[in-house]
Amino acid sequence: MPLNISKITLIVGGAPMSIAERELMFEAIRRAMPAEVERNADSSLVANFTINKLHQISKYLTPMIGLRGVEVLFSRSLDLTSKEFAWLTATDPRLDKATQMAFVSEQLQARESNEASKASYTFFATFTELLISLIGISLTSRLLEPIWATVPPAPQKESKS
Amino acid sequence: MNSKVSILRLATGVPGLDAILGGGLPELSFNLIVGSPGSGKTTLAHQIMFALATPERPALFFTVLGEAPLKMLRYQQQFSFFDAAMINKSIHFVNLNDEVASGDLDQVLQRISNEVAALSPALVFIDSFRSVVLETQLQIKGTLGLQQFIQQLGMQMTSWQATTFLIGEQFNESYPHPVFTVADGLISLTQKIQRNSMVRQLHVLKMRGQPTSPGMHTFRITNEGVQVFPSAVIRNDTEAQAESDQPRSRERVSMGVPGLDKMLGGGLPSGYSLLVAGPSGSGKTILATAFLTEGVKRGEPGIIVAFEQTPSQSWNRSIDDMVRAGQIGLINTRSLDLSIDEIVQHLIDLIHKMKATRVVIDSLSGFELAVAPTFREDFRESLFRMVAVLSSLGVTVLMTSELEDRYTDLRFSPYGTAFLTDAIIVQRYIEVESSLQRVMAVVKVRASVHSQEICKFEIGKEGIIIGEPILDYEGLLGGRPTLKYVSKASKG
Q: What ipTM was assigned to the predicted interfaces of this complex?
A: 0.71
Q: Which of B364, B51, B341, B306 is nearest to B220 (CA)?
A: B341
Q: Are B366 and B307 in contact (CB under 8 A)?
A: yes
Q: Write phi, then psi, for B139 (nearest 5 degrees).
A: -60, 145
For chain B, residues with pLDDT lower than 50 are 245-247, 314, 487, 489-492
CA-to-CA distance for B385 and B420, rounded, in angstroms? 9
What is the nearest CA distance from B57 to chain A, expressed in angstroms?
Answer: 9
Using the predicted structure, report yes or no on whether residue A5 has a pLDDT greater than 60: no
Q: Please tell me if residue B237 touches chain A, with a CB cutoff of 8 Å.
A: no
Q: What share of chain A is helix, strand, coil (3-state, %, to 5)?
A: 65, 0, 35
Segment B151-185, tens digit of pLDDT:
778 777 777 889 999 898 765 655 556 667 778 99
Which residues have C-beta within 8 Å of that of residue B423, sequence separation ≥ 6?
B264, B268, B269, B272, B273, B274, B275, B442, B444, B445, B446
- The reported pLDDT for the residue numbered B313 is 55
CA-to-CA distance for B378 and B380, rounded, in angstroms? 6
Quote the pTM value. 0.75
- Per-residue burial over B341-353, b if 16 or more Cβ lie within 10 Å, else e, is bbbbbbbeebbee
Q: Which of B221, B35, B54 is nearest to B127 (CA)?
A: B35
Residue in B63, B84, B95 closest to A139 by CB = B84
Q: Are B283 and B312 in contact (CB under 8 A)?
A: no
Residue in A64, A134, A158 closest to B93 by CB = A64
- Contacts of residues B261-266 at CB distance under 8 Å and 24 or more positions apart, as own/partner, are B262/B451, B263/B440, B263/B442, B263/B450, B263/B451, B263/B453, B263/B455, B263/B466, B264/B423, B264/B442, B264/B445, B264/B448, B264/B450, B264/B451, B265/B445, B265/B448, B265/B449, B265/B450, B265/B451
Coil vs helix vs strand at B90: coil
CA distances (Å), A13 to each of A126, A127, B455, in order? 10, 12, 73
CA-to-CA distance for B323 and B350, rounded, in angstroms? 13
Coil vs helix vs strand at B320: helix
Q: Which of B62, B70, B125 is nearest to B99 (CA)?
A: B62
Residue in B77, B83, B94 closest to A158 by CB = B83
Our measurement of the distance from residue B422's CA atom to the centroid of its chain's CA atoms, rounded to an integer in Å, reads 23
Q: CA angle, B463 as apex, B457 and B467 as ends, to 5°?
A: 25
Interface probe for B, chosen from A61, A77, A160 (most Cβ of B below 10 Å), is A160
CA-to-CA distance for B414 and B404, rounded, in angstroms? 9
CA-to-CA distance for B247 and B251, rounded, in angstroms? 11
Segment A48-95, tens digit of pLDDT:
999 999 999 999 999 888 888 898 899 999 999 999 999 998 877 667
What is the nearest CA distance from B229 to chain A, expressed in angstroms?
Answer: 27
How many Cα atoms within 13 Å fall on the side-chain side of residue B397? 30
Interface of B with A in 62-91 (CB under 8 A): 63, 68-70, 73-74, 77, 83-90
Contact criterion met (CB < 8 Å) for A66 and B93:
no
The strand order across the sheet containing B396-402 reads B328-332, B302-306, B358-362, B396-402, B273-278, B423-432, B435-445, B454-460, B463-469
Q: Please tell me if residue A119 touches chain B, with a CB cutoff of 8 Å.
A: no
Q: Please tell me if residue A142 touches chain B, with a CB cutoff of 8 Å.
A: yes
Residue of A nearest to B83 (CA): A157
What is the nearest CA distance from B343 to chain A, expressed in angstroms?
Answer: 32
Q: Please tell me if residue A16 touches chain B, with a CB cutoff of 8 Å.
A: no
Using the predicted structure, report yes or no on whether residue A116 has a pLDDT greater than 70: yes
Cis omega (within 30 of 0) on the bond before B80? Answer: no
Sorting pLDDT into bands at 50, 70 and 90, what band is A4? very low
CA distances (Å), B262 to each of B127, B243, B321, B421, B443, in order? 65, 32, 28, 20, 14
Q: Are A145 and A139 in contact (CB under 8 A)?
A: no
Do β-strands B273-278 and B302-306 pair in parallel, antiparallel, or remain unpaired?
unpaired
Angle at which helix A43-81 crosses helix A97-109, to 10 degrees, equals 120
Q: CA angle, B261 as apex, B260 and B267 as ends, to 5°?
A: 145
Using the predicted structure, report yes or no on whether residue A2 has a pLDDT greater than 60: no
Angle at which helix B317-324 crosses helix B284-297, to 10 degrees, equals 40
Coil vs helix vs strand at B463: strand
User: What is the enclosing helix (H) or strand (E) of B458?
Assistant: strand B454-460
Q: Please tell me if residue B52 touches chain A, with a CB cutoff of 8 Å.
A: no
Q: CA angle, B281 as apex, B280 and B282 as ends, to 5°?
A: 95
Q: Are B104 and B139 in contact (CB under 8 A)?
A: yes
End-to-end CA distance of chain B: 90
Mean pLDDT of A98-121: 90
- The reported pLDDT for the residue numbered A58 is 93
The DSSP secondary structure of B262-304, one letter per residue, reads: HHTTSSEETT-EEEEEE-TTSSHHHHHHHHHHHHHHTT--EEE
Q: Please tell me if residue A66 touches chain B, with a CB cutoff of 8 Å.
A: yes
Q: Are B93 and B69 in contact (CB under 8 A)?
A: yes
- The reported pLDDT for the residue numbered A9 is 42
CA distances (Å), B438 to each of B125, B289, B464, in order? 65, 18, 11
Contact criterion met (CB < 8 Å) for A66 and B95:
yes
Q: Which of B478, B469, B364, B473 is nearest to B410 (CA)?
A: B478
For residue A120, what is the DSSP state? Answer: H
CA-to-CA distance for A152 and A21, rounded, in angstroms? 8
Contact criterion met (CB < 8 Å) for A161 and B56:
yes
Q: Are B310 and B304 in contact (CB under 8 A)?
A: no
Contact criterion met (CB < 8 Å) for B77 and A154:
no
Query: Identity (one letter) of the amino acid at B477?
Result: L
Contacts with A77 from chain B: Cβ below 8 Å:
none
What is the nearest CA distance from A69 to chain B, expressed in angstroms?
Answer: 8
Q: CA angle, B135 as apex, B133 and B137 as ends, to 5°?
A: 75
